[in-house]
Amino acid sequence: MGDDFSTRFAEQYEAGKSQIVWRRIVADLETPIGTYLKLAQERTHSFLLESVQDGTTRGRYSIIGLLPDLIVRVEDGTASVNRQAQLDPDAFEVMDDKPLDALRGLVAESQIVVPEGLPPQSAGIYGYLGYEMVRYMEVLPNGNPDDLKTPEAVLMRPSLLAIFDTVKDELYLTAPVYVKAGVSARQALEAAEARIDDAIARLGRALPATPALP
C-alpha cells in the first residue's frame, strides 16, 4: 500500500470509521478447496461457502473466512461473545441483551463500507442460526430431543477473507479493520497487511497432505 492510502486510512480510522484493506490476485490456477486447505491449515474457526444456483450451476463467488476477531454464540437462550478469539478461544462473556437484540447490536457494530469494485462479501458476520432461534421470533411447539448438543447459533467476524470471483478468475484477499481502543491506525494497518502477506505466502506453498480414505 502506498503513502496516499496509508494517509487516507489513518484519517478514516481516527474518525472512527472501519475500513477494508485488500489485494487482488489472478486465480486461474487456484481452486476454492485448495485455497481453503492452504489458508486454514492449523487454524480453528474457519469456513468455506460455495454458492449453487438451481442445484446445478455454480454461483459467481466462493468465500473463505478465517481469523475471527469476534465470535458470538447462543446457548439455552443466552448470548455470549468472545472478543479475544485468536488469543483465548474460551474467553466468552455473557451479553446482557436477549439473543436477537445482541445479534442486532453486533451487526450494527460491524457495519463497514465496501470499496467500489470489491465483492459485497468482503466483510461481515458469518455463521449459522439454528432452528431453535425461531423461538425468539414466534411460538414453537416443544418435544424435539436435542441430540446434537450444539449451540442455537454461532457466528464469527473474520479478520481475513479470500473471495473467488469465478467470472473474472480473480481472488480478493480482504482484511476488514474495525476501530479498536488502544490500537493506533498504523498498528491496525500493519496488522491487516501482515494478514494478507501471510495469506499470499501460504498460497505459494504445496497443499497439505490429507489422510487416505479407508
List pLDDT tens digits, range 68-108.
999 999 998 999 999 999 999 899 999 999 999 999 999 99
pLDDT, tens digit, 9 for 90 and up, residues 150-196? 999 999 999 999 999 988 999 999 999 999 999 999 999 999 999 99
What is the CATH class of 3-203?
alpha beta
b/e map 145-179, b = 16+ CB within 10 Å: eeeeeebbbbbbbbbbbbbbbeeeeebbbbbbbbe
Q: Is the pLDDT of residue 15 over 90?
A: yes
Q: What ranges do the domains of the chain cover?
A: 3-203
* pTM given for the model: 0.90
Helix, strand or coil, per DSSP, at residue 198: helix
User: In which band, very low, low, confident or very high, does the pLDDT at 212 lie, cut at 50, 70 and 90?
Assistant: low
All three cell numbers of 3, joined, read 503513502
pLDDT of residue 145: 79
Confidence of residue 22 (pLDDT cuts 50, 70, 90): very high
pLDDT score, position 213: 63
**Residue 28: predicted pLDDT:** 84
Give the pLDDT band of residue 143 (cuts 50, 70, 90).
low
**Rounded to whole angstroms, how far apart are CA atoms 3 and 163?**
26
